Amino acid sequence: MLEDHLISAAHLSRDDIEAVLDRAESVDSAGRAGHGSHDGHVLALCFFEPSTRTKMSFESAMKRLGGETIDMGSVESSSVKKGESLADTVRVIEGYADAMVLRHPSEGSAKLASEFVDVPLVNAGDGAGQHPSQTLLDLYTIRENAGLDGITVGIMGDLKYGRTVHSLAHALTNFDVRQHFISPESLRLPRNVRYDLHEAGAQVREHTGLEEVLPELDVLYVTRIQRERFPEEREYRAVAGEYRIDNGTLSDAHPDLTVMHPLPRVDEIAPEVDETARARYFEQAHNGVPVRMALLDILLGGDR
Amino acid sequence: MSDTNEELRVSKIRDGTVIDHVTGGQALNVLAILGIDGEGDETVSIGMNVPSDKLGRKDVVKVEGRELSQSEVDVLSLIAPEATINIIRDFDVVDKNRVERTTSVTGILVCPNHNCITNADEPVRTEFEVFDNGVRCSYCGTIVREGDVAERIDARGVGETAL
Ligand SMILES: [Zn+2]
C-alpha cells in the first residue's frame, strides 16, 4: 500500500506502520539533518485550505531529505478560484513534481485526487476525514514513550469531530492496545467510527469522566473541545471545564503517564503540566519531521 | 394463483425488461434507479401490491425497450433483494436472473454527506461498499443504513451521468 499513496490510516497494516516508524527512528538517531538522498526530487504542496504547521513540517522533511518543495499557493491566487476541478488541478501539478501533499476541505478529496495521478500522494487532511501522517507521528510518539503493545491509551475531548482521534483509534487496533474514550455525551465517537473499531476487533470503552480510567492509563491523548460545537457559551464552559487537566487532575495517574495533544491547545492542558516529564506534546509535534521524512523517503522509493 | 397469471394484469411488452418480485412498495424506487421520471419516452407499466405466493405482496415493473446496466442491478439488489430480471424479446422471456447482492455499487446513489467530494463538481461516480446492514461511501466513509438506501437514489440520474 505504502508504495503507492497514503490516503487513510485505516489502510495501513501493522507492517506498513512499523516500516515508517522504524525508518523514522533511524532518521532520528542519525540526526535529522542531512539525509541528502533525494537531491533533485520535488514535492508539491497543494493546500486548498491553510494549515501552516503541517505544510512547514512537510517542507522541512523534504528539505532535510535533500529535495525541494514547490507550493501551489493560496486558493485565492490559483486556478481553483476560477472553478477548476480538483481532478484537473492535481493532473496539472503532478507534471511538476515527484510526489504531492494534499490538504483539502472536502472529505474523500485525497482518494479522488489519487485516482487521477501517478505520483505518490499524501493526504494531509481531507475535511473531517483522514490525516494519516498525523496518525503516524502520534504512533511514533507513543512507541518512543510507552511502546505500542500491552498498553492502555485514553483518548479524551472532542471525539465526534476530531479526525485525529478517529485515525489514531483505527491505527491502534493493529496493536495490542486497550483503548478508552472519554468525552461528553454530545461529543462521543460517531457511529461509523465505533462500527469500524468494532469490526477491527477493538472493544470500545466509553466514559464521560477521566477519573474512572486515569489510573489505568499509560498514555492520555487530549484534544480540544471547540466553542462552536455548542449552541450556548454557558454550556460550552461547563462541559469544557470538565475535560481540562492540570497537575492536580493528574495526581492519580501512573507516574510514567505520557500526555499527548495534537496542538494547538487552548486551555485544555494547564501550562504547569508542561514542566513535568509527562508532557510529550511538543516532542510529538517535532516528531512530525522524522516521520514525514521516513514517509516521503519510502514513497519516493528510497532504499528499503 | 401463479405468478404467470398475475403478470397478465400488467400489459405485456414486446422488447424490454420485466422486473418481478420487487419488494412491495418499492416500484417507484425501482423507477428512480432506472432514472425514469416520465420525462423520457419509455413505455413503463407498474403493478403494485400484486398478490404473490413468494412475497405476499410484490411490485412488478415493466419497461419497454430498455435493459438494465450492472450498476442499476446492483442498487436494485439493495432495495429489492428478491427481484428477478426478465429480458423480453419479441414477447418471450429470453433470459431470467435473480439479482445478486454485490460488494459495492457505483453511481445512482448519492452520498448524504454534503461535504463529500462526490457531491462537488468533480468527474467521479459515487461508490459505496455494501455490508450486512447498509452501504458506506468509499470516499468519505459515511454509512447509509439499509432502510435509508432508497432515499439516497439520485432521481435525476446525476450519479450515473456525471462521468
Ligand atoms: Zn461520501
The pLDDT, as a whole number, for residue A302 is: 66
Please tell me what DSSP assigns to residue A148.
S
Residue A82's Cβ-count burial label (10 Å; 0-12, 13-18, 19+) is exposed
Residue A42 lies in a domain: yes
- Just list the catalytic residues of A: 53-54, 82, 103, 131
Given strand A121-126, what is the order of strands in its sheet? Answer: A68-71, A42-47, A99-104, A121-126
User: Are A274 and A146 within one domain?
Assistant: yes
- Do A243 and A183 contact (CB within 8 A), yes or no? yes
Q: What ipTM is given for this predicted complex?
A: 0.88
**pLDDT tens-digit map of A235-284:** 888 888 889 999 999 999 999 999 999 999 989 999 999 999 999 999 99
User: Are A140 and A239 within one domain?
Assistant: yes
How far is it, in rounded angstroms, from Cα B51 to Cα B56?
6
User: Are A120 and A172 within one domain?
Assistant: no
Which residues does chain A have within 8 Å of residue B142's beta carbon, measured at their own beta carbons?
107, 192
User: Are A263 and A224 within one domain?
Assistant: yes
Residue-by-residue DSSP string for A119-148 = S-EEEEEETTS--HHHHHHHHHHHHHHH-S
Residue A304 lies in a domain: no
Give the nearest chain A residue to B136 (CA atoms).
A192
* Among B116, B138, B142, beta carbon nearest to A192: B142
A111·B118 Cβ contact <8 A: no
Give the nearest chain B residue to A193 (CA atoms).
B141
Please tell me what DSSP assigns to residue B140.
T
The pLDDT, as a whole number, for residue A32 is: 66
Among B140, B142, B143, B144, the residue to mutate for chain A (most A Cβ within 10 A): B140
User: Are A143 and A243 within one domain?
Assistant: yes
Cell 498525523: give the residue: A134
What CATH number belongs to B3-98? 3.30.70.140
Give the nearest chain A residue to B122 (CA atoms).
A85
A87·B138 Cβ contact <8 A: no
SS3 of residue B4 by DSSP: helix
List the domain boundaries for chain B. 3-98, 104-157
Per cent of chain A over pLDDT 70 is: 96
How far is it, in rounded angstroms, from Cα A7 to Cα A151?
27
Average pLDDT rounded to a whole number, residues A205-218: 96
Q: Which residues of A fall below an 8 Å CB-CB distance to B?
A: 83, 85-87, 104-109, 111-112, 115, 126-129, 191-192, 195
* Among B115, B123, B143, beta carbon nearest to A87: B123
Residue A260, amino acid: M
Question: Ligand 1 centroid to B112 CA: how many Å?
Answer: 7
Which residues does chain A have within 8 Å of residue B136's beta carbon, measured at their own beta carbons?
192
Give the nearest chain A residue to B140 (CA atoms).
A108
Residue A107 lies in a domain: yes
How far is it, in rounded angstroms, from Cα B76 to Cα B26?
10
Question: Ligand 1 centroid to B61 CA: how many Å?
Answer: 30
Residue-by-residue DSSP string for A205-225 = EEES-STTTGGG-SEEEE-PP
How far is it, in rounded angstroms, from Cα A231 to Cα A217?
32
* CATH number of the CATH domain containing A109: 3.40.50.1370
Q: How far is B25 from chain A (nearest CA, A)?
A: 29
Residue ranges of chain B whose pLDDT lies below 70: 1-11, 155-163
Q: Write out the residues surrounding ion ligand 1, Cβ under 5 A.
A: B 111, 113, 116, 137, 139-140, 142
Give the nearest chain B residue to A111 (CA atoms).
B139
The pLDDT, as a whole number, for residue A212 is: 93
Compute φ and ψ for B70, nearest 5 degrees: -60, -40
- Do A101 and A57 contact (CB within 8 A), yes or no? no
Residue A241, amino acid: G
Residue A277 lies in a domain: yes
Pinpoint the alpha helices (H) of chain B.
3-7, 27-33, 70-79, 158-161
Per cent of chain A over pLDDT 90 is: 73
User: Are A122 and A189 within one domain?
Assistant: no
B117·A108 Cβ contact <8 A: yes
**pLDDT tens-digit map of A16-32:** 999 999 999 999 888 76
Which residues does chain A have within 8 Å of residue B118's beta carbon, measured at their own beta carbons?
108, 112
What CATH number belongs to B104-157? 2.30.30.20
A125 is in which domain, residue-wise?
A: 9-130+288-299
User: Are A195 and A256 within one domain?
Assistant: yes
Residue A89 lies in a domain: yes
How many domains is chain A built from?
A: 2
pLDDT at residue A118 greater than cutoff 90: yes
User: Are A149 and A246 within one domain?
Assistant: yes
User: Are A162 and A19 within one domain?
Assistant: no
Which residues does chain B have within 8 Å of residue A131's beta carbon, measured at their own beta carbons?
none
How far is it, in rounded angstroms, from Cα A100 to Cα A117?
10
Q: How far is A109 from chain B (nearest CA, A)?
A: 5
User: Are A231 and A168 within one domain?
Assistant: yes
User: Are A169 and A280 within one domain?
Assistant: yes
The pLDDT, as a whole number, for residue A37 is: 82
User: Are A149 and A278 within one domain?
Assistant: yes
A192·B124 Cβ contact <8 A: no
How far is it, in rounded angstroms, from Cα B31 to Cα B9?
19
Residue A301 corresponds to which cell in the numbers above?
522509493
Average pLDDT rounded to a whole number, residues A129-149: 95
* Among B115, B137, B143, beta carbon nearest to A127: B115
